[in-house]
Structure 1
Amino acid sequence: MKSHLLLDPRFSIIQYLPVDLSITNGALGDALRDPESCQAYLDRVLEKDKKQIAFGGYLERRGLYDGFGHFNPEESGKREYHLGLDFWAPSDTSVHTPWEGRVHSWANRTAPGDYGPVLILEHSFDEKPLYSLYGHLSAGSLRGLTEGQKFRAGAEIGRLGSAKENGGYAPHLHFQLIRDLEGFRGDYPGVCALQQLEFYRQNCPDPMKYLNYNL
Structure 2
Amino acid sequence: MELQQSQTVGKIATSIPGAAELFRQHGISFCCGGSDSIQEAAVAAGLSPEAMLSELQSLVRAASTEAPEGTIDLIHHLRTRYHDTHRAELISLIPLAAKVERVHADHPDAPLGLADLLERIKSDLGDHMHREEVFLFPLMERDDQPMLTRPIEQMRHEHDVEAQHLAELEHVTGGFHLPEGACNSWRALYTNAKKFSDDLVRHMHLENEILFPRFTSAKV
TM-score category by the smaller chain? under 0.3
Give the alignment's TM-score, normalised by structure 1.
Answer: 0.26
Give the alignment's TM-score, normalised by structure 2.
Answer: 0.26
Identify the structure with the greater strand proportion.
1
Structure with larger Rg: 2
